Structure 1
């Protein structure tokens, strides 16, 4: 029965943990983007401040947010994710 095998296979526990990390990163990215884009960008355009010629709300939400996400995703992959074999060794396949 496949359901029982999935519960016993440790790869599924690892995959679930890594999926939750990915969901957390996506939520952080959205909150960061939304907070700066609509928090700082909701005022009149005449009152905007500029960074490198871009409105500050755009710079923080899109440029800085992208750079922060690159660092966070790289750190998550390097330190939190594990390499897991795709082959199912329990079904008698070729093992090298």
Structure 2
């Protein structure tokens, strides 16, 4: 199964990368608080320390990698629907 990367161009791309960096910073901070090095975090997430370093620089990766890093740091990554989207969907303004 191919994994899609979080990638976008222009303003949306910058925003997505900013959000990914923010999530990654929280994961790295939690790992540090738990006494874990970045190398140990990477290995627990089944990626190389070099891959983690590249991820930090590019802020581009697939969802599974971020979820694995969060899990390795003792965190849970969740996704939720924006309230306004759900309201519009239930009002029949959007297609399912």
TM over 0.5: no
Higher helix share: 1
Bigger radius of gyration, 1 or 2?
1
Q: Using structure 1 for the length normalisation, give the TM-score.
A: 0.34
Q: TM-score, normalised by structure 2?
A: 0.34
